Amino acid sequence: MELLSVKNCTKRFHSISALDDFSFSVNRGDIHGLIGPNGAGKTTLVSCITGLIGHIDSGEIYFDGHDLTKLHPYEIINTGLTRTFQVTQLIPGLDVVENVAVGIKENDAVRRGGIRKGFSLLFGHPDRQKARDICNRFGIEDILDSGINAATHYQQKLITLARAVVSDPQMVILDEPTAGMSFQESSRFGEIIQSLNTENRITFLIIEHNIPFIFQHATYMTVLNQGKHFISGNPEEIRGNESVKEIYIGNSIE
Ligand SMILES: Nc1ncnc2c1ncn2[C@@H]1O[C@H](COP(=O)(O)OP(=O)(O)OP(=O)(O)O)[C@@H](O)[C@H]1O
Ligand SMILES: [Mg+2]
């Protein structure tokens, strides 16, 4: 059953069509991998879905029955759709738990009033415990009350993921989550994604250049190339497709 549906979406930056009549959908319960060469339009697609780069030039985007093109970014989060960014965006002045707690949906003031203004509302908030519980589950309990500078790159990625899932979303979009991780770290990260998918029933859309990771964990995949939909299918179909290998010249898809 379709949870996210993008139909004939076009987004131009001056003369560049970063997305060109692009359509795809994500089914509820899937871990949907989105791959494509550098500059293909993957991050632009995520920014269009989550309302962060203004209006699309044309097309439709529906999530769980909501027309996302008519909603503000904070309203989109309240439909149960969250994202993480390609570059980790943590707040240096807050400790780890606070960085996770700013993701809590119920604390609307955080989003409406700006993070720092809204943050004062989080002191003593019962949802702070919820943020702690997720950190414990992710194995970062030893740095809970530290500043984020105490966290390694991998731990910062987990904090970012924790912030995205603390609001009990229906779907999370991750933009290159395993970039900079060691093999062991990305394996552990993959296990966490799988457990969130099966136990918390969170649907994922994951952009990755880490081809082994995405082939291991995706249940379905879409390839984007030069702003256009290239192919969708299960991982076996994508792996065996000769034309997908061709657009990845210089990159390994084996
Ligand atoms: N804000 C912007 N202004 C102008 N051009 C942009 C902007 N954002 C993206 N582009 C262009 O749109 C195209 C798609 O970029 P995008 O960042 O979406 O690609 P990507 O698939 O995420 O690439 P990567 O794998 O390197 O992260 C590129 O040609 C890029 O230069
Ligand atoms: Mg990108």
Q: Does ligand 1 have an atom closer than 6 angstroms to the CB of 42?
A: yes
* Mean pLDDT on 241-253: 76
User: pTM for this structure?
Assistant: 0.91
Question: How many Cβ atoms sit within 10 Å of the Cβ of residue 43?
Answer: 17
Angle at which helices 127-138 and 153-165 pack, to 10 degrees? 130
Mutating to test ligand 1, I would choose from 13, 174, 214 the residue with most ligand atoms within 8 A of its C-beta, which is 13
| Closest ligand 1 atom number to CA of residue 36 | 21
Which domains, from first to last, does the chain contain?
1-80+169-254 (3.40.50.300), 89-167 (no CATH)
- For every residue of 44-100, DSSP letters joined together read HHHHHHTTTT---SEEEEEETTEEGGGS-HHHHHTTTEEE--SS----TTSBHHHHH
At 228 the pLDDT is 97
Q: Does ligand 1 have an atom closer than 6 angstroms to the CB of 43?
A: yes
Nearest-angstrom CA–CA distance, 26 and 74: 21
Nearest-angstrom CA–CA distance, 177 and 84: 8
Q: Strands 16-27, 66-67: parallel, antiparallel or unpaired by DSSP?
A: unpaired
Residue 88 makes CB contacts below 8 A (sequence gap 6+) with 156, 157, 160
Please determine, for residue 65, whether its predicted confidence score (pLDDT) is greater than 90: yes
Q: Does ligand 1 have an atom closer than 6 angstroms to the CB of 150?
A: no
Please determine, for residue 128, whether its predicted confidence score (pLDDT) is greater than 60: yes
At 121 the pLDDT is 47
At 120 the pLDDT is 47
pLDDT digits (tens, 9 = 90+) for 98-120: 889 888 755 554 455 555 444 54
At 8 the pLDDT is 98
Nearest-angstrom CA–CA distance, 231 and 249: 17
Average pLDDT taken over every residue of the chain: 89
Nearest-angstrom CA–CA distance, 97 and 150: 13
- φ/ψ region of 107 (left if φ > 0, alpha if ψ in -120 to 50, else beta) reads beta
Lowest mean per-residue pLDDT among 63-67, 121-125, 166-170: 121-125
Nearest-angstrom CA–CA distance, 153 and 90: 11
Q: Does ligand 1 have an atom closer than 6 angstroms to the CB of 177?
A: no
Mutating to test ligand 1, I would choose from 43, 45, 86 the residue with most ligand atoms within 8 A of its C-beta, which is 43
The H-or-E segment that residue 133 falls in is: helix 127-138
Q: Does ligand 1 have an atom closer than 6 angstroms to the CB of 41?
A: yes
Gap from CA of 175 to ligand 2 centroid (Å): 7
